[in-house]
Amino acid sequence: MNQSAQLDRRFVWHPFTQMRDWLKREPLVIAEGRGAVLRDLRGREYLDANASIWTNLHGHNHPKINAAIRRQLKKIAHSSALGFANEPASLLASKLIAASNKSAGNANLKSQISNLKLKKVFFSDDGSTAMEVALKLAYEFTRRTRGRTVGRASPRAGSSVASPHPKFLSLDGAYHGDTVGAVSAGHIDLFHKAYSGLLFKTDKVMSPYCYRCPFNRAKPERADARDYRKCRFECVGLVEKKFAAQKKKGNPYAAFVFEPLMQGSAGMIPQPKTWLKQVSDIARGHGALLIADEVMTGFGRTNSQLKIKNSKLPLFACQQENVQPDFLCLAKGMTGGYLPMAATLTTQNIFDAFLGDYEEFKTFFHGHSFTGNQLGASAALASLEILQSPASALARKNLENVLRNELQSLWPLPHVGDIRQVGLIAGIELVRNWRTREPYELRDRAGIRVCETMAKRGVLTRPIGNVIVLMPPYCTTTAQMQKMIRALREAVTEVFIETRSTR
């Protein structure tokens, strides 16, 4: 075992990892990367089929991002945003604002959203902190602006005071990160139950998981469940009910928290067309703020099928359904997957609620040491420039088509129940029997076994339970994409079909 592997086993505790299993084997030590290829210390090559946990956009070792970081390094790596501005962070903020206020072409939208435009950027470090910032801002904004008429108990009956407990509504199965606020907005019991004593209470509402939806009356077909579902959008009705019930309690929801178009860690669960728009309108109608978590979906992951008129393709999932959030949370791909940096974009309205005289202490008392880090901002600027080039838009569109075509070859496998693709994200749900949708149990470790078998074939990804995730870097070639799908097909066959027939 090489020295790094030994040191890792001795000293490192890995995230989301059962360390007893980890310590049973020699870890794979990644030493280099170029494009979509990762190389380990022994010189073996692998395709990075989940873009290094959904972060990498343009491939590893990209010459333009490398050069931008090197240029910045010659000046300064980091100075504090507490008290000082810096060049790359201020430029990046302006570019993020410009990119976030584009719609996918709805002319009416401009007038509808002019006062909802995103105008301010709060930088932080990762997806969890971007969400934490949005939750805190929404909470405090609501307390300050939503007056509550106080009844008999108040000495000044009828006066307007801050709403004491602004409440949040989020989606069943939601994952928004691992800080305590972000966990509170999440609803994956497996991850979150242990910490329930630490959390504030949020409500959840059904998310549209068409493949396993109790309202979907369609029998399983060999197609994406969104395409053959038989329902009346009952899931949207439930959102309306939830908002109405909370309003009756006299404390309407302060904010609705969601991942647009596809929920990631919930199991790559895509939303049928118009769901996002419908529920956002309901939330707005009930006076709730919209918190869009685009930590996974942002920066071109979901929109490559839109018509490319020029390089000004919308980069965010919300824009595809012309939904204008009050908070847009970005991380992962923001620096092209190079450095930990995140941003929470918000409106002038929210910003203004925190303005006041110094001694009023209306300040947003929140921040991190590396807020607005120059190296991260330089990488993000370079990544944005690549993303907004016509060549990148075209490459994404082509790669999405290749992915769509290649995924078709998985339908004949009886252990593939659903294949869900949104842009350059795909989730393949493994089942015992596609005709009944019978799932594998956790102890079957179905997803893990398939991914381990794919790794032997030179393709690395990580499952979410029984769902295999494919999220290739945008520079992935057709041949590499074909290799990813081939490895998955062969792995499913080896794990479930060949092993069963030899038993």
Phi, psi of 344 (to 5 degrees): -115, 115
Select the span of 123-131, 134-142, 357-365, 464-472 touching ligand PLP (CB under 6 A).
123-131
Check if the beta carbon of residue 125 is closer than 8 Å to that of residue 351: no
Select the span of 121-129, 217-225, 231-239, 403-411 touching ligand PLP (CB under 6 A).
121-129
132 near ligand PLP (CB under 6 A): no
Q: What is the smallest separation between the CB atom of 303 and ligand PLP, expressed in angstroms?
A: 16
Label residue 328 left, alpha or beta by phi (over 0 means left) and psi (-120 to 50 means alpha): beta
Check if the beta carbon of residue 174 is closer than 8 Å to that of residue 266: yes
Joined tokens for residue 204: 């959840």
177 near ligand PLP (CB under 6 A): yes
298 near ligand PLP (CB under 6 A): no
Residue with smaller CB distance to ligand PLP, 176 or 397: 176
Give dist(CA 341, CA 329) in Å, integer. Answer: 11
Report CA Rg, the chain: 23
Q: Select the residue interacting with ligand PLP from 127, 208, 325, 473 (CB under 6 A).
A: 127
Question: For residue 483, what are the contacts with CB-CB under 8 A and spacing of at least 6?
Answer: 47, 458, 459
What is the per-residue binding string for ligand PLP in 229-268, x denoting contact by CB under 6 A? ------------------------------x----xx---
Closest CA to 464 of 16, 109, 1: 16
Q: What is the smallest separation between the CB atom of 175 and ligand PLP, expressed in angstroms?
A: 6
Q: What is the smallest separation between the CB atom of 213 and ligand PLP, expressed in angstroms?
A: 21
Joined tokens for residue 406: 């290649």
Q: Where are the beta strands (DSSP E) in 84-216?
A: 118-124, 147-149, 160-162, 168-171, 203-205
128 near ligand PLP (CB under 6 A): yes
The secondary structure of 138-155 as a DSSP string is: HHHHHHHH-EEE--TTST
321 near ligand PLP (CB under 6 A): no
192 near ligand PLP (CB under 6 A): no
Q: What is the smallest separation between the CB atom of 301 and ligand PLP, expressed in angstroms?
A: 11
Residue with smaller CB distance to ligand PLP, 27 or 181: 181
Residue with smaller CB distance to ligand PLP, 135 or 254: 135
331 near ligand PLP (CB under 6 A): yes
Q: What is the smallest separation between the CB atom of 260 and ligand PLP, expressed in angstroms?
A: 10
Pairing type for strands 160-162 and 118-124 reads: unpaired
| Binding residues for ligand PLP (CB under 6 A) | 126-128, 131, 175-177, 259, 264-265, 293, 295-296, 331-332
